[in-house]
Amino acid sequence: MGDPGRPRRPLHFGPDAMEAYGGTLPDPAEAAEAAHAAAVTVVEAGRCGADPATTDRLVRLVDELGIDTLAHLWSDRPARSLPGALWRMYLLREWVQRQPVEAAREYGSGMTAAPVSHVIAGVVEPPGVDEMRQLSDRILSGVFDGDLAIALERAAAFCRVIATGRAHLEDGNVSAASAMIGTAENLEASARLWRSGHLD
């Protein structure tokens, strides 16, 4: 994939894209349909007999496209939808990749206070910078080479450990911890919806 050190490419509607929509931006229904179609395509690309190299490319999708591209596609979709859940998983990985020291510090603080979530997320001891990056990759790779519901639950458990760590640190951010709990709850709900065949 692309060089991780390369500047991110912002997404914008150029003349060709504008022409395709008659000179206008897509309406909300078209945007929602495009977001869902893109999410389905990404998931199916990884789950239809994908080899490890394909899985690795999909895990590193942000490295190639840039977070702005995925944000444009998925960030406005409901949290409890396939594109919304994928957005949160990719965003979680991107945060760990960009701020691994902070992630390791918060995870290390939370893992003993939230042992069940720690086990579900995937044990990393000690939770160093490299271990955190590897764990975030393994969690996201489960979307493509494992059970999607389990991958969502592992991501949710990871969020719960991070939230617990933030709450326990002396300089912890309670608001940020609460937001991470909200993310965990949405990922857990998305896992239930996927199992029932209703994650649209």
Domain boundaries, the chain: 15-196
Q: Please check whether residue 143 is in contact with residue 46, taking contact to mean a CB–CB distance below 8 angstroms.
A: yes
pLDDT at 149: 96
pLDDT at 171: 82
What span, in angstroms and rounded, lies between the C-alpha atoms of 158 and 155? 5
Residue at token pair 């080899």: 51
Q: Residue 97's Cα: distance from chain center in Å?
A: 12
Rounded to two decimals, the pTM is 0.84
What span, in angstroms and rounded, lies between the C-alpha atoms of 40 and 162? 28
Distances (CA, A) of 158 to 46, 91, 101, 126, 185: 22, 13, 15, 15, 12
The stretches in the chain having pLDDT less than 70 are: 1-26, 49-50
pLDDT at 196: 97
pLDDT at 5: 40
pLDDT at 53: 87
